[in-house]
Amino acid sequence: MQVIPSQNSEQCCGGGVTGLSARLCGELDTFIDRLPQKEGQLVSVLHKAQSLFGYLPREVQEFVAQRMGESRAAVYGVVSFYSFFTMEPKGKHPISVCMGTACFVKGAGEALEALQKELGVRVGEVSADGLFSIDALRCVGACGLAPVVMVGEKVYGKITTANQVKEILTEYKNKEVH
């Protein structure tokens, strides 16, 4: 769930894959080198890659394919299969609305609607200022607090009105100003 946006713009020139931060590529390389064996570790490597780069664009997938000795198609096949992996960047404060059954029957749909309206973006998109992105996820297991909205790893419970949604967004917008 942790999203660490790539802050380093140094170019990675190794292996013919360009456009990636050399530092992050190095970290991923070290992680791969330390694996007891490469076989069967593609999902773990992609988890690591996403935690480093924040998302898995084509360049990262190519880098992983090369280092793991897999075809690009095989890597793409795995990335696109699992909903936890994303090929799109997230906002600075990624927002997740729980759409598990418990939250759904208590009105998570309305909270999601209010968020989309307030930010002017749909699920899977990033707001124009790059601050927020919206995702719908399946159950964080905090059903006692339904409906649940998460910003980063912080959980906000019993979110049912548009005003509550506005308050949460303001909290983060204010942080930017100060």
Partner 1 sequence: MKRIGSFEELKARHERLAPLLALRNTEENDPQTRDILVCGGTGCQASESEQLVKNLNSVLREHGLEREVRAQITGCFGFCEKGPIVKVHPDNVFYVEVKADDAREIIERHVLEGAPVERLLFEEPSVNARVQRQSDISFYGKQMRIALRNCGFINPESIEEYLANQGYQALGTALTDMTPEEVCLLIKESGLRGRGGGGFPTGVKWDIARAQAADQKYIICNADEGDPGAFMDRAIMEGDPHSVIEAMAIGGYAIGASKGLVYIRAEYPLAIQRLETALEQARNCGLLGANILGRGFGFDIEIKLGAGAFVCGEETALIRSMEGKRGEPTTKPPFPAEKGYWGKPSNVNNVETLANIPSIVLRGAGWYRGIGTEKSKGTKVFALAGKISNVGLVEVPLGTTLREIIYDIGGGIRNGRRFKAVQTGGPSGGCIPARFLDTPIDFESLSAIGSMMGSGGMIVLSEDDCMVNLAKFYLEFTMDESCGKCTSCRVGSKRMHEILERITQGKGVPEDMATLRTLAATIKDTALCGLGQTAPNPVLSTLEYFEDEYMAHVNEGRCPAGACTSLLQYSIAADRCVGCSLCARACPSGAISGTPKSLFRIDADVCTKCGECVDKCKFAAIASA
Burial class of residue 46 (count of CB atoms within 10 Å of its CB; 0-12, 13-18, 19+)? buried
Nearer to partner 1, 16 or 144 (CB): 144
Asked whether 151 and 140 are in contact (CB, 8 A), the reply is no
Cα–Cα distance, 57 to 75 (Å, whole number): 11
Kindly state the smallest distance separating residue 98's Cβ from partner 1, in Å: 8
Considering the complex, what minimum distance in angstroms separates the CB of residue 132 from partner 1?
20
With CB under 8 A as the contact rule, the residue among 8, 18, 71, 101 that binds partner 1 is 101
Residue 33 binds partner 1 (CB under 8 A): no
Phi and psi of 98, rounded to 5°? -70, 125
Tell me which of 34, 144, 174, 178 binds partner 1, using CB under 8 A.
144
With binding defined as CB under 8 A, does residue 123 bind partner 1?
no
Residue 82 contacts partner 1 per CB under 8 A? yes
Residue owning tokens 């906000």: 156
Give Cα separations from 162 to 31, 78, 134, 138 (angstroms). Answer: 43, 37, 15, 21
Which segment (10-18, 42-50, 57-65, 124-132) binds partner 1 by CB under 8 A? 42-50
By beta-carbon proximity to partner 1, the closer residue of 40 and 120 is 40
How would you classify the pairing of strands 93-98 and 149-151?
Answer: antiparallel
Query: CB neighbours (10 Å) of residue 110?
Result: 15
- Contacts with partner 1: how many residues (CB under 8 A)? 39
Q: Provide the annotated binding site for [2Fe-2S] cluster.
A: 98, 103, 139, 143
Chain contacts with partner 1 (rule: CB under 8 A)? 1, 39-44, 46-47, 77-78, 81-85, 99-106, 137-146, 148, 153-155, 157
